[in-house]
Amino acid sequence: MKKIFRHFPVLLIVLLLNVLCIPSSIAQDALTISGSVKSGEELLPGVSISIKGTTIGTITNFDGEYTIQASANDILVFSFIGFNTVEESVNGRTLINVNMIEELTELSEVIAIGYGTVQKKDLTSAISTVKGDELAKRNVANVSQALQGQLAGVQVSSNGGSPGSEASILIRGISTINNNNPLYVVDDVPMDDISWLNPKDIENVQVLKDASASSIFGSRASNGVIVIETKKAKAGRTNISIDATYSIQDAAKKPKMADATEYAKIVNKAATNSGLDAPFSDPETFGTGTNWWNEVTQVAPIQNYSVSINKGTEEMKIASGFSYFKQDGLVKGGGYDRITMKLNTEYKLASWLTIGQNLSLSKDRTDNGPNLVWDVQRVEPNIPVYLPAYEQEGKNEFSIYHPTLYTDVPNPMGQLARSFNKTDYLRTIGNVFANFDFGLGITAESKFAFYISQWENNDFGPTYFIESTDYNNENWVTRSHNNRTQYTWNNLIHYKKQLNNHKLNMTAGMTLESDENRYLYGEGYNTPNNHPDLRYIDSTEDTKRYASGSNNKNTRQSFLARANYSFNDRYLLTASFRADASSRFNKENRWGFFPSVSGAWNLAEEGFMESVSWLSQAKLRAGWGQVGNDNIDNDALLTTLGRTVYVFGAERNINLGQAPASVGNADLQWETVEDMNIGADLGFWNQKLSASVDYYERRSKDMLLATSIPYYLGSAWSTPYANIGTLTTKGFELVLTYRKEYASGFRMTHSLNLSKASSKITKLVAGEAIWSGNHQRLENLTRTVEGGVAGEFFGMVTDGIFQNESEVINYTDEFGNVLQPHAQPGDMRFKDVNGDGLINADDRAVIGNPEADFTFGMNLNFEYKNFDISMLFTGSYGNDVLNAVKPYAGTGSERYNSFAGLLDKAWDGEGSSNTQPRLAAIDDNNNFIYSDFYIEDGSHLRLKSMQLGYNFPQTWIEKVHLGNARIFIGGENLFTLTKFDGLDVDLGGSALERGIDWGQYPLPRIFMVGANISF
């Protein structure tokens, strides 16, 4: 991590350089103009005045007065943060007084808070927002990826770089050890899938972080709520806007594997070290062999195009749009493309009635290539990809690959050739609504929304023969469908009243939701041959077909109410209540009630603060609320039965039986999350610098978790849900935003967000520990206990390497018993943690913490004239990660390939290494048992995104009748500073398995070029 801090000065210098760009005003022999600048009756100091098209400028003094020299034809530009810019032509005048109008600042921005809106200044709870424009800058497939690094308290981790993959989002750390996905609410409709949304169609995103904000969404809000407002039809002239981006991706980091010669030497050494014959007589003859990584990867393009059209009058508004996104896989065989279309209309039928509809269509296709990243790091390099030409003769196209001779990894290129798995997704999302205005401040709305998706997967397995462990005698075809239908009906009434200094805003309503999945699967065997035209179930043998299908449905009913009250814009109070019933629970446990209350004090509005002019905003907030979590399977309460197969009879007939397939827990109830948030929003020097701090404590009670149960209960593969305990998360968030504008027209906006969330298990039922993370080599990777962090890495503790025989013999307990009698020099020394004189599983200890001390995001934006540059940095500090590839490639003890350099790195004689054990084919000491050997520092700093844009001058644009034209170049994942050895340090994962690198799909480094045009 020190390394990263070494680079912070570089960033600081970048920042300083900006500050130092102070423009100088050069005198000119021309008119001397003077005047004063006011806002209403108030004089404004610090307003910058510049001569348009030059860098000449000045600033008003403390009395709001200025003097500048300009020629008679010049135009003066008056600009001041928080006010609309004013342009005045000199026209020979020497006295120019200006009255500036406060611009609609971010404080008066309207924030969607779910079932209603509120002005930002009236907020009482912890809500972060990001504008759609910010997200649109990122050339990524979906909204979740675009949110990375943008908001304090919102931690976005990539789930690898495979095309179209969604990132995982954590709001304020983990709130449960169950599913931590936030609830998405798109235009007031709750949903769990937003991958259909084109990021460019988003107006703004609000993240409701604390329960006082999110409790209006009750039973599903425990992981926070992301409220998304899509772009709606607006009144105005016809506006057409076109975006086009083209990008190229390559791997941000490639694995460095041993070449064929080193591989053979490692295998030989491991064998001879164990007293066995060396399998390879002359390793050098292998040369470098096959570089499997290069074989399976490619430089791949991303294309992204969208068009939107909007036109509207007060009576009728229409917006429509179209987009196309296509990403080829960095690893061959993968790919993703998506087409979206939308149509929004709104009609004002009468002064009291508006009706309308929103409709979005999204069609995407994913080529699900095999996950070769894992395999190419294990397969031996000393075989060619293909059989020699003379051996290929007479074989089909899937059988011409060389068998792997020394490992059980199938030939990766062979796997690629057989990859036919494709998923098609068609989603139709929309709503119809009617808004009523009853007068007297009473309005009502009824909205019926639907989400209908059709998911289809097709796969084909050809006949082929590569070797006796990698072949298929009978080809097969599968197809599956899932139809999902989700309906939501919202009925809301709003009441708004202002009386003198009292403002009251009330909302009440009820909602109904239903969600149904219908699944069908079919498979068939033995099509006449592998021809593409015959890869359908119809071509398979009709006695060799099999089908399955399922249905499940759940429903919810809710009542909600909320009231906002404000007095004199200074004292704000919000209270809300939601009652939810879910079909997932028994009648006795069905209803859950979720109240909240929050308040804020606008200190800066107080009379006694008037004299403190440098403080432009000061708001103190506090909130409390309860939310819930019903994230369990529909049949979680019941033990369901599944089909078993056995054989009876002299004729040996199949006999199908029944046995419990998944075990239920009849006593399940809601998980309740209660949280408290205090915060302050501060603005200085008329918002030139603003800061927002929040501190929170959140307690998740009766956490629902699918847990492993003792195997003796007879259902080892079943993980029933249980209310397993309490998790307490404490954290803080800080956002600093700095804006500066120079008379020269140079502007910058920088913001830094910093978050810390620390989750401790405060209670587990019966004090049990939860084990998670089943690795083929290492078993349970994490343990979660009362008083500990969720998902702590728990394994053996190493203490260097035995350098010689006497170190082995002298490593004893207090009675002189040798602790590791099977060890040899070069073997790992393990600590006898519990001091019982034995080295065994009881000596495991906490060996790593997946939770970061803090995570951060930093946005740097510069604008000068027509140019703009933006950079986004993301990172974390102090978290541990587990390298789960290392048990294969980092040990050299089996015939899997190793990381390059392992031959020299491994212990080979006294003093040669104290971290990497000797190479050994037979390892009686279990050197590579799960230990801190696999834990690494996950701190990192990444330049996530960078963009340089140029806006064509207005004068040119007008000539060609364009409204706006911008071109840009940019990049993603341009560099990462970290000590982690794996391919990507940005690891998501579930609550109990955070920070584990399972051979994740590598993150692409992307270079892009694009244009936006509107007219």
Scan residues 825-854 and list those touching other proteins (CB under 8 A).
840-841
List the end-to-end C-alpha distance of the chain, in Å, as a whole number. 49
- Which residues 589-648 are close enough to bind other proteins by CB under 8 A? 590, 634-635, 638-642, 644-648
Find out whether 765 and 725 touch, Cβ atoms under 8 Å: yes
CB of 392 vs other proteins, minimal distance in Å: 21
d(CA 662, CA 709): 12
- Which residues 966-995 are close enough to bind other proteins by CB under 8 A? none
- Which residues 2-31 are close enough to bind other proteins by CB under 8 A? none
- Cβ distance to other proteins smaller for residue 101 or 841: 841
d(CA 190, CA 554): 14
- Cβ distance to other proteins smaller for residue 345 or 491: 491
User: Considering just the CA atoms, what is the radius of gyration of the chain in Å?
Assistant: 32
**What x/- string results for residues 794 through 823 when contact with other proteins is judged by CB under 8 A?**
----------------------------x-
CB of 473 vs other proteins, minimal distance in Å: 5
CB of 667 vs other proteins, minimal distance in Å: 6
- Cβ distance to other proteins smaller for residue 854 or 928: 928
DSSP per-residue codes, 270-336: HHHHTTPPPS-S-GGGGTT---HHHHHB--EEEEEEEEEEEEE-SSEEEEEEEEEEEEE-SBTT-EE
In 106-231, which ranges are continuous DSSP H helix?
A: 132-136, 143-146, 211-214
Find out whether 856 and 151 touch, Cβ atoms under 8 Å: no
Considering only 77, 416, 449, 663, the residue that binds other proteins (CB under 8 A) is 663
- Which residues 913-932 are close enough to bind other proteins by CB under 8 A? 921-922, 924, 926, 929
Q: Kind and range of the H or E element at 62?
A: none
- Cβ distance to other proteins smaller for residue 634 or 812: 634
What 3-state DSSP class applies to 834?
A: coil
CB of 713 vs other proteins, minimal distance in Å: 6
**What x/- string results for residues 544 through 583 when contact with other proteins is judged by CB under 8 A?**
x-x--xxxxxxxxx-----------------------xxx
Overall size of the chain counted in residues: 1015
d(CA 400, CA 392): 5
Q: Around Cβ 693, how many Cβ atoms within 10 Å?
A: 16
- Cβ distance to other proteins smaller for residue 409 or 801: 409
- Cβ distance to other proteins smaller for residue 71 or 550: 550
- Cβ distance to other proteins smaller for residue 591 or 684: 591
Strand partners, 65: 36
Is there binding between residue 676 and other proteins (CB under 8 A)?
A: no
Considering only 24, 281, 611, 658, the residue that binds other proteins (CB under 8 A) is 658
Nearest partner of 373 among 327, 331, 329, judged by Cα: 331
CB of 903 vs other proteins, minimal distance in Å: 18
Non-local CB neighbours of 963 within 8 Å, separated by 6+ positions: 239, 957, 1014, 1015
- Which residues 453-482 are close enough to bind other proteins by CB under 8 A? 468-469, 473-474
Copy the structure tokens of residue 318.
């229409």
**Dihedral angle, C-alpha 254, 260, 263, 265, nearest 10 °:** -140
Non-local CB neighbours of 717 within 8 Å, separated by 6+ positions: none
CB of 295 vs other proteins, minimal distance in Å: 22
- Cβ distance to other proteins smaller for residue 80 or 888: 888
- Cβ distance to other proteins smaller for residue 84 or 655: 655
Q: Name the segment binding other proteins (CB under 8 A); options: 190-198, 416-424, 890-898, 979-987.
A: 890-898
Find out whether 515 and 528 touch, Cβ atoms under 8 Å: no
Non-local CB neighbours of 41 within 8 Å, separated by 6+ positions: none
- Which residues 695-734 are close enough to bind other proteins by CB under 8 A? 708-717, 720, 722
Considering only 654, 816, 955, 961, the residue that binds other proteins (CB under 8 A) is 654
DSSP per-residue codes, 907-931: --STTS-SSSPPP-SS-TT-TTSSB
Nearest partner of 362 among 199, 130, 145, 168, judged by Cα: 199
Non-local CB neighbours of 527 within 8 Å, separated by 6+ positions: 475, 477, 534, 535, 536, 539, 540
Q: Name the segment binding other proteins (CB under 8 A); options: 45-53, 237-245, 778-786, 943-951.
A: 778-786
- Which residues 374-413 are close enough to bind other proteins by CB under 8 A? 406-408
- Cβ distance to other proteins smaller for residue 235 or 641: 641
CB of 261 vs other proteins, minimal distance in Å: 20
What 3-state DSSP class applies to 979?
A: coil
Widest pairwise Cα distance in the chain: 115
- Cβ distance to other proteins smaller for residue 502 or 544: 544
- Cβ distance to other proteins smaller for residue 92 or 549: 549
Copy the structure tokens of residue 198.
């084109």
d(CA 261, CA 817): 42
Considering only 732, 738, 811, 896, the residue that binds other proteins (CB under 8 A) is 896
**Alpha-carbon distances of 766 from 440, 636, 769, rounded to whole Å:** 57, 21, 9
Non-local CB neighbours of 121 within 8 Å, separated by 6+ positions: 107, 108, 569, 602, 619
**What x/- string results for residues 268 through 307 when contact with other proteins is judged by CB under 8 A?**
-------xx--x----------------------------
Task: Provide φ and ψ at 680, rounded to 5°.
Answer: -145, 140
**What x/- string results for residues 490 through 519 when contact with other proteins is judged by CB under 8 A?**
-x-x----------------x-x-x-----
- Cβ distance to other proteins smaller for residue 439 or 532: 439
Find out whether 866 and 965 touch, Cβ atoms under 8 Å: no
Find out whether 630 and 670 touch, Cβ atoms under 8 Å: yes
CB of 969 vs other proteins, minimal distance in Å: 47
Q: How many residues bind other proteins (CB under 8 A)?
A: 103
- Cβ distance to other proteins smaller for residue 524 or 745: 524
- Which residues 32-71 are close enough to bind other proteins by CB under 8 A? none
Q: Name the segment binding other proteins (CB under 8 A); options: 58-66, 615-623, 760-768, 865-873.
A: 760-768
Q: Name the segment binding other proteins (CB under 8 A); options: 100-108, 313-321, 438-446, 609-617.
A: 438-446
- Cβ distance to other proteins smaller for residue 26 or 440: 440
CB of 431 vs other proteins, minimal distance in Å: 17
CB of 714 vs other proteins, minimal distance in Å: 2
Q: Kind and range of the H or E element at 268?
A: helix 260-273
Q: Name the segment binding other proteins (CB under 8 A); options: 447-455, 734-742, 767-775, 986-994.
A: 767-775
- Cβ distance to other proteins smaller for residue 267 or 330: 267
Find out whether 743 and 689 touch, Cβ atoms under 8 Å: no
Considering only 650, 815, 955, 961, the residue that binds other proteins (CB under 8 A) is 650
Backbone CA torsion sign across 692, 695, 700, 701: negative
CB of 403 vs other proteins, minimal distance in Å: 11
Q: Name the segment binding other proteins (CB under 8 A); options: 2-10, 302-310, 437-445, 950-958.
A: 437-445
- Cβ distance to other proteins smaller for residue 359 or 510: 510
Q: Name the segment binding other proteins (CB under 8 A); options: 242-250, 304-312, 489-497, 744-752.
A: 489-497
d(CA 424, CA 455): 6
CB of 767 vs other proteins, minimal distance in Å: 7
